[in-house]
Amino acid sequence: MMLGSNMLTASAPSPLTAAIANADTDSILILIRLSGGNDGLSTVIPIEQYDTYANARPNIYIPESKILKLTDEFGIPTYMNSLEPMWGAGQVKAVHGVGYENQSLSHFTGSDIYANTDLTTTGFDGLDTGWMGRYFENIYPDYLVNPPAAPAAIQIGNFGSLVFQGEETNYAFVTSNIDQLEEIAESGVQYSLDDSLFNNCMYGDQLKFLRGVANTTYEYSGLIHEAYERGQNQVEYQDNGFARQLALLARLIKGNLGTKVYMISMGGFDTHGNQPLAHERLMSNLSIAINNFYEDIAFTQQDEKVLSMTFSEFGRRIFENGSNGTDHGKAAPTLFFGTGLNGSAFVGEH
């Protein structure tokens, strides 16, 4: 797998995991999965090759009047203008052309390869551990008998949990959706035991018992609740699923939970049809939420320790299709956000 000019393999530590391992103990990584295959040419627009770009997409290209020019070579759509202050402050980098040779155009196989970095993966075979799972195995060799004080990783959304899978266990505290993690953060338990939920259920007593047992296995639920109570949002977030995820992460980080890695997701990027409106909504929401998140954690001077990055199972094709959309493609840009980036830039070859 290529990250700029760096090859990621299944057997060797990646540059990213090596950087994490050598980072200060309070550094935090947020993985942002753009599920469905993000369209790179609607995210980073090639200004010097604008005519070629527009001719390939006569019905869906972004007009020059709606491009925010960040350098002489590249810009972003004006609906992503919430990132402009961060760009000016040196807190945004875009790495062009992230992908790997013979890239899979399958959502499932592509997602698995990004998780396990095994380029031989097919729909039926492939490495069953993830790159972060292998990293945590090195950091916590006796994890099952001596787990860390806080969750090593927290993941919102079940899909893609291979990222944190090790040989013996999955190292992430996983919730199926933001609603579930919000409930844990607010109550300190995985499942509600309110009697009213079981009164009209034939097996109410048994179900309540099983929920109670499950709660005891989630040893970290109480810690998440305590951190959530300590940390408070100091900016107003939008009311959408992605913004809610970042708002919750901000509270956990400001509450000093101690978790090193988070993974959140945003769906809807499989834009085979009616792409312009769909992509505008998605990337507008992402840009606003990212800006709000870093503004929020800056109140407690924790923005310097948090690096966020986007990834998607593949990119999309240069040419539009017949449905005002684009079909599955290959490499695409990865966006990085954070105060510690030491300057904004576009990196690599477009």
Q: What is the pLDDT of residue 168?
A: 86
d(C-alpha 141, C-alpha 342), whole Å: 33
Residues 6+ apart with CB under 8 A from 130: 115, 116, 162, 163, 164, 165, 166
Helix runs in the chain, H state only: 15-21, 50-56, 84-88, 107-116, 131-139, 178-187, 204-217, 221-230, 241-254, 275-298
Strands 345-347 and 2-3: unpaired
Residues 6+ apart with CB under 8 A from 244: 178, 182, 237
Contact of 313 with 99, CB cutoff 8 Å: no
The candidate with the shortest Cα–Cα distance to 163, out of 133, 120, 203, 125, is 133
What is the token pair recorded at 87? 């760009």
Q: What is the pLDDT of residue 155?
A: 95
DSSP type of residue 149: S
d(C-alpha 118, C-alpha 123), whole Å: 12
Q: What is the pLDDT of residue 158?
A: 76
CA 154 from centroid of its chain's CA atoms: 11
Contact of 234 with 3, CB cutoff 8 Å: no
Q: What is the pLDDT of residue 9?
A: 45
Q: Which DSSP string do the residues of 296-344 spell out, in sequence order? A: HHHTTT-GGGEEEEEE-S--B-SS--TTSS--B-S-EEEEEE-GGGSS-
Contact of 208 with 193, CB cutoff 8 Å: yes
Q: What is the pLDDT of residue 220?
A: 86
- Dihedral sign, Cα of residue 116, residue 340, residue 237, residue 219: positive
Opening angle at CA 83, ends 79 and 84, nearest 5? 95
Q: Which DSSP string do the residues of 212-230 spell out, in sequence order? A: HHHHHH-TTHHHHHHHHHH
Specify which residues 67 forms β-bridges with. Answer: 77
Per-residue pLDDT tens listing for the chain (350 residues) = 344 444 444 444 555 555 555 554 689 999 999 999 999 999 999 999 999 999 999 999 999 999 999 999 999 999 999 999 999 999 999 999 999 999 999 999 999 999 999 999 987 789 999 999 999 999 999 888 788 889 999 999 877 679 999 998 889 988 889 998 998 899 876 555 455 554 565 555 555 545 543 443 467 888 999 999 999 999 999 999 999 999 999 999 999 999 999 999 999 999 999 999 999 999 999 999 999 999 999 999 999 999 999 999 999 999 999 999 999 999 999 999 999 998 999 999 87
Q: Residue 77 belongs to what H/E stretch?
A: strand 74-77
d(C-alpha 318, C-alpha 40), whole Å: 9
Q: What is the pLDDT of residue 219?
A: 74
Q: What is the pLDDT of residue 179?
A: 92
Residues 6+ apart with CB under 8 A from 141: none
Query: What are the backbone angles phi and psi of residue 124, rounded to the nearest 5°?
Result: -120, -10
Strands 153-156 and 172-175: parallel
Q: What is the pLDDT of residue 253?
A: 98
pTM over cut 0.85: yes
d(C-alpha 234, C-alpha 65), whole Å: 34
What is the token pair recorded at 172? 């992430």
What is the token pair recorded at 341? 């980036």
